[in-house]
């Protein structure tokens, strides 16, 4: 071993070659021993995975099998990221409109997904303007609907919505526009209420019964479920009031036909029609295109308490046209004008001075009214009731009493007849219809009463009125003593 320089770590006489040789020593036996198991393991792995020795695919095949995608990192700054978060989360406030999808339908409520932290709940009463509508009949699963936020959170923490009020808000704007433009709305009749119909036009529109058709409709039930068109005649959002008129729409669409009908209708004509409705002031007659009114005063020559006592709905009647007003589209009709005037008939068959049998109908301070024929009443003035002074009519007659009166005046123009009980008591000529009741044999050619028939010539009239012969004088006028106080047969004649 060469001596080492004490100041150096290598021998003094050494060179670089030996040093390099030392840096790359030959492997020793002890170093090769652990490498052998590794080589064995590698060979073993190669044998077990023969596919590893397969050639790798070509470059074109790898391009077809793999499609690289671009991945962007940190492509949003802080502001954009906050905006993205806020846009993905739905915020709701009470009174706002939201849109969602129906996810569940129960008997009393509907759940919809509006993208909020929880599903919105629509109670059944807030689904539709129709009363008692089943939720399943209003919406369907996955249907997209609009709703109004009623409560952001109720006591149970639920979001409460209303489809009905959302529909109402949308519909009200449309209805206001249609009303301003004079347009027409259409909707389904959903209910019959007192006085008319309820029409679904997005909100509850009221259609009065008198405006359902050109003539009044008595049974409204058949309209339920049908679609109708109508004009808006009244609108009040504060009162939630919408009044419709289908009649106005019909009049507008049939205006030309109505104008032509009125042009061809002339006063004085007699037309046949059907009673379409009866009201307290008269009756409406359908003339086959338009309705005309027969006022209660034109229904009959006699006094009418109510039109229903004269005509009924569905009756076919002949009426005379009194007046046609094209500007107001009104037709005035008369039923009694087609009937014989009882006043004309009475004046033609009676004359002043005749005796007639009548019934007291009404007492007034100045006298009594006596019915002497069909729809004919005459006045017996208090001065003509008795030969003595009369304070009040009740002293002489009572309502319903039947008695003989004499005709002392007939004023056909004013339709008045003056009668006298006092003069009837003095006797006179009996009118023709009462001569028939007594029997023609009891009167002479001039109408003077001759008395009852003899026993040799029995007869019904003679037997019935035998007590009217008095003292048996014949050939004289009927005297006051001979006048009957009560005669059933004459009552029948008087009331005929």
pLDDT of residue 223: 92
How close are the terminal C-alpha atoms of the chain, in Å? 177
In terms of DSSP bridges, do strands 241-245 and 291-295 run parallel, antiparallel, or are they unpaired?
unpaired
Dump pLDDT digits (tens) for 256-298. Answer: 788 888 888 899 999 999 998 899 999 999 888 788 999 999 9
* H or E stretch covering 320: strand 316-325
CA distance 7 to 152: 93
Span 4-8, mean pLDDT?
A: 46
Q: How confident is the model at residue 246 (pLDDT cuts 50, 70, 90)?
A: very high
Question: DSSP state, 212?
Answer: S
- Residue 167 class from Cβ within 10 Å (0-12 exposed, 13-18 middle, 19+ buried)? buried
- Bigger pLDDT: 451 or 191? 191
- Do 100 and 113 contact (CB within 8 A), yes or no? yes
Q: Provide the 3-class DSSP secondary structure of residue 33.
A: coil
Q: What are phi and psi of 225, to 5 degrees?
A: 90, -10
List helix spans (H) across 273-426. Answer: 342-349, 421-424
Question: Measuring CA to CA, which residue among 279, 308, 275, 307 is closest to residue 291?
Answer: 275
Average pLDDT in the chain: 76
Span 438-442, mean pLDDT?
A: 56
Give strand pairing partners of 292: 285
pTM to 2 decimal places: 0.44
| Domains along the sequence of the chain with CATH | 97-166 (2.40.50.140), 182-252 (2.40.50.140), 266-338 (2.40.50.140), 350-496 (2.40.50.140)
- Do 428 and 353 contact (CB within 8 A), yes or no? yes
CA distance 365 to 96: 76
Angle between helices 255-264 and 246-253 (to 10 degrees): 70
- Do 315 and 275 contact (CB within 8 A), yes or no? yes
CA distance 493 to 496: 5
Has residue 199 got a pLDDT over 70? yes
| Residue whose tokens read 């209303």 | 162
150 CB-side CA count, 13 A = 18
CA distance 148 to 199: 22
CA distance 279 to 296: 9
Length of the chain: 496
Question: Measuring CA to CA, which residue among 79, 155, 86, 135 is closest to residue 115?
Answer: 86
Dump pLDDT digits (tens) for 35-62. Answer: 444 444 444 444 444 444 455 555 555 5
């Amino acid at each position: 071993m060469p001596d080492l320089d004490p100041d150096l770590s290598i021998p003094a006489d050494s060179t670089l070659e030996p040093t390099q040789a030392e840096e790359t020593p030959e492997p020793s036996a002890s170093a090769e021993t652990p490498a052998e198991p590794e080589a064995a393991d590698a060979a073993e792995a190669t044998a077990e995975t023969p596919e590893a020795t397969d050639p790798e695919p070509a470059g074109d095949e790898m391009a077809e099998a793999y499609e690289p995608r671009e991945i962007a990192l940190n492509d949003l700054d802080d502001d954009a990221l906050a905006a993205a978060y806020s846009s993905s989360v739905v915020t709701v406030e009470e009174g706002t409109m939201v849109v969602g999808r129906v996810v569940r339908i129960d008997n009393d409520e509907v759940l919809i997904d509006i993208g909020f932290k929880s599903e919105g709940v629509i109670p059944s009463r807030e689904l539709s303007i129709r009363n008692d509508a089943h939720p399943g009949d209003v919406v369907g699963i996955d249907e997209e609907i609009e709703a109004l936020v009623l409560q952001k959170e109720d006591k149970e923490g639920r979001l409460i919505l209303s489809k009905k009020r959302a529909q109402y808000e949308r519909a009200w704007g449309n209805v206001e526009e249609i009303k301003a433009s004079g347009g027409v709305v259409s909707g389904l009749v959903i209910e019959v209420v007192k006085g008319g119909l309820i029409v679904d036009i997005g909100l509850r529109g009221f259609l009065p019964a008198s405006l359902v058709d050109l003539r009044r409709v008595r049974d409204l039930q058949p309209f339920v479920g049908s679609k109708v068109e109508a004009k808006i005649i009244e609108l009040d959002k504060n009162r939630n009031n919408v009044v419709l008129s289908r009649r106005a729409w019909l009049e507008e669409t049939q205006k030309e036909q109505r104008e032509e009908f009125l042009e061809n209708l002339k006063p004085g004509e007699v037309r046949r029609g059907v009673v379409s409705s009866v009201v307290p002031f008269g009756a409406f007659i359908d003339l086959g295109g338009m309705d005309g009114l027969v006022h209660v005063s034109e229904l009959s020559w006699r006094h009418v308490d109510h039109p229903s006592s004269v005509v009924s709905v569905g009756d076919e009647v002949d009426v005379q046209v009194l007046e046609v007003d094209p500007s107001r589209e009104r037709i005035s009709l008369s039923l009694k004008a087609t009937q014989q005037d009882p006043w004309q008939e009475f004046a033609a068959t009676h004359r002043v001075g005749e005796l007639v049998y009548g019934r007291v109908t009404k007492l007034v301070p100045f006298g009594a009214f006596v019915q002497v024929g069909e729809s004919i009443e005459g006045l017996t003035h208090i001065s003509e009731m008795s030969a003595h002074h009369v304070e009040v009519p009740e002293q002489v007659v009572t309502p319903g009493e039947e008695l003989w009166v004499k005709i002392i005046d007939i004023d056909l123009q004013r339709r008045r007849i003056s009668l006298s009980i006092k003069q009837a008591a003095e006797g006179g000529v009996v009118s023709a219809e009462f001569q028939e009741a007594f029997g023609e044999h009891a009167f002479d050619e001039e109408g003077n009463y001759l008395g009852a028939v003899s026993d040799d010539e029995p007869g019904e009239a003679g037997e019935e009125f035998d007590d009217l012969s008095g003292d048996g004088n014949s050939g004289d006028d009927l005297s006051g003593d001979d006048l009957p106080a009560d005669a059933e047969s004459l009552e029948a004649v008087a009331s005929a």
